[in-house]
Amino acid sequence: MKATVRPRVFLVDDHHLFRTGVKSALGDAVEVVGEADEVPAAIELIGERLPDVVLLDVHMPGGGGRAVIDAIKPAHPEVRFLALSVSDAPEDVIAVIRAGARGYVTKTISGPELVDAVERVAGGDAVFSPRLAGFVLDAFASMPPGSELPGPFDPELDNLSPREREVLRLIARGYTYKEIARELTISVKTVETHVSAVLRKLQLSTRHELTRWATERRLI
């Protein structure tokens, strides 16, 4: 779903050069309402300007992107976060998604793809990179269905439906949402619904791999 007005975007990254690069890549497609190069300033300015989407660096001194999400989310649930990172280690990706980011892309993403991701997040949808889709499939597949799980098991949250699996596989294979819709003969809107459902499971499930990935490395 494309937002009809230009999304208001806020940039948080401790590298000036990278912020400049992102701004030029985004071009006129979005309105950059502010930027910050450290966690406290970011928290203050985001609370003030209430952007639609915060483009957030995962690795930053002072708690990283996660500290920003934790500080903003309770008071302003309408602000959405898209995480950007040079690392695509599962620990980093899963931790920031579970903190509340609605998507994750690596910093090598091309300009048009980034604009597309920002608009998608602004519209309330989730953005999965192929690698993130791979992680999710890994986390939700490594336990054979029906096997005993340690702790409480919620079939609603801790399993993917066959359709969600298919969608994730296609994302992992590098398909765009439009191509996935055509391949599965469903609407783009339905693809988005599936991805949002997976995002919710990813954030709420207590599956062992997810909690392990999310806590193993506390560097973000």
Q: How many CB atoms lie within 10 A of CB 46?
A: 23
Find the shortest distance in angstroms from Cβ 12 to another protein.
Answer: 20
195 touching another protein, by CB under 8 A: no
141 touching another protein, by CB under 8 A: yes
Report the alpha-carbon angle 204-180-22, nearest 5.
70
Find the shortest distance in angstroms from Cβ 23 to another protein.
Answer: 21
Which residue's entry shows tokens 């490395």?
A: 217
Judged by CB under 8 A, the residue of 21, 63, 123, 130 near another protein is 130
Query: For residues 149-188, which are near another protein according to CB under 8 A?
Result: 169, 172-174
Find the shortest distance in angstroms from Cβ 203 to another protein.
Answer: 20
Say which amino acid occupies 198. V
147 touching another protein, by CB under 8 A: no
Segment near another protein (CB under 8 A); pick from 71-79, 118-126, 140-148, 188-196: 140-148
137 touching another protein, by CB under 8 A: yes
HEC-encoded secondary structure of 81-95: EEEEECCCCHHHHHH
- Give the span between the Cα atoms of 37 and 23, in whole angstroms: 14
Judged by CB under 8 A, the residue of 24, 108, 147, 185 near another protein is 108
Nearest to 202 by CA among 102, 64, 107: 102
Between the two ends of the chain, the Cα-to-Cα distance in Å is 31
Find the shortest distance in angstroms from Cβ 52 to another protein.
Answer: 28
Segment near another protein (CB under 8 A); pick from 80-88, 115-123, 190-198, 205-213: 80-88
Nearest to 174 by CA among 131, 121, 139, 135: 131
**Cβ–Cβ < 8 Å for 190, 71:** no
Judged by CB under 8 A, the residue of 133, 160, 167, 202 near another protein is 133
At residue 142, the 3 state secondary structure works out as coil
**Residues binding another protein: number (CB under 8 A):** 19
- Residues forming contacts to another protein in the complex (CB under 8 A) are 86-89, 92, 108, 130-131, 133-134, 137-138, 141-142, 144, 169, 172-174
